[in-house]
A and B are shown apart, each in its own frame.
Chain A
């Protein structure tokens, strides 16, 4: 069994030097997971956030955490590999180097004891740098574009699903973040129908309908609204 001292003193530093791009990816995944947990707890403890927003933001944080992890590992590692292959194939060359020289360098890598020249070291550094740059680009795309877009959609869906489950258990309608809070929604309303019509009807209009017809069947009201 490997000792902890050897692991942290030799194995990990060796990995950091040899695979810097992967090290950055894995450590990012670790820190973003811990960060997500911390932020989720801080949302629950925030007393100044409105209750509706708090729930929505909590789901958003948890969604972000999972997505960051998945997106990071998927995009970052793939981008890094693409970057390295792009440079290795001779399609992205160091300044002042020809693609034939890159091909010669790749051949040398397969031969044991081949003498490396100044140009070879330039190519080796270039390949490594392209890999790391592509990894960083992958991380930026994954964390700052893909994950926020998907999490916003996902948080809305999870939030609605949770309300639906709660309604089934307690027969109580929990206010949605799409709608302002109102005591009228403590009535027994079939959530599935209600949420399915959210996109076709504005929240304020829905309230006006319910407020004006408190004793009418919800299905009738929704049909009435659609026909209008």
Chain B
């Protein structure tokens, strides 16, 4: 058997932080609601800043850039909120649908689980990442663990699908209904935006008067 020298391991292998390895099982099964939250939270900062920046939004004038940034900020709050809520609702529906008899695990689905998580250890770590206590599965046989994991994984997968389906409907409806009222409210309430708008109105009026005289 060929062994690789230890020094070589150290030179080329970058070890993941302990917290990453501990939460790897959870991370590997990131649900759509969490994914939406990660994207939305970062977008709230980065997209607003990029729309407001003179260098990052070069074709718009000051007022348009401020309008864009305000709108982006409002948009991120509404879309992230509605997206996370819709996905969470869908995931809840999926998790509880099996208990309430809305659907059942199809025959042969345990083979899918067996193929995805080959060892009992991997299946145990998946169960722990899904909130099952170690004591609950300590005495179970590999077959029972696989069965428990199937009953946990299948509803989660259905929940992810339901969450996405609800999100597709909600983004269209919520974006149409709530983005503009919130944007308008922010445009009315933000003093720096009002000041800018008034200045623009006065400037336009002066230009019109000047041209009519000419």
Contact = CB atoms under 8 A, between A and B. Distances in A.
Interface of A: 8-10, 12-14, 16-18, 20, 23-24, 27-28, 30-31, 34-35, 37-39, 41-43, 45-46, 48-50, 52-53, 56-57, 60, 90-100, 103, 116-118, 120-122, 124-126, 128-133, 136, 139-140, 143-145, 148-149, 152-153, 155-157, 159-160, 177-184, 203-204, 207, 210-212, 214
B164 A42 contact: no
B interface SS class: helix
Given A95-B20, A183-B211, A30 B168 contact: yes
Contact of A139 (B13, B29, B39, B154): B39
Nearest to A140: B42
Contacts of B13: 90-93, 98-99
B214 A211 contact: yes
Nearest to A199: B58
B138 interface: no
Contacts of A203: 61
Interface SS of chain A: helix
Given A46-B183, A99-B13, A100-B4, A152 B59 contact: yes
Interface of B: 3-4, 6, 8-9, 12-18, 20-25, 27-30, 32, 35, 38-39, 42-43, 46-47, 50-51, 56-61, 63-64, 67-68, 71, 75, 79, 83, 103, 106, 109, 112-113, 115-119, 121-122, 125-126, 153-154, 157-158, 160-161, 164, 167-168, 171-176, 179-180, 183-184, 187, 200, 203-204, 207-208, 210-212, 214
Contacts, number: 254
Contacts of A93: 13-16
A109 to B, nearest CB: 10
Nearest to A16: B157
Contacts of B61: 177-180, 203
B24 A100 contact: no
25 contacts: A13-B157, A16-B160, A17-B157, A20-B30, A34-B171, A39-B75, A53-B67, A56-B60, A92-B13, A96-B15, A96-B21, A98-B6, A99-B12, A100-B3, A117-B119, A120-B118, A128-B24, A129-B20, A130-B16, A139-B35, A143-B39, A149-B56, A152-B60, A183-B208, A214-B214
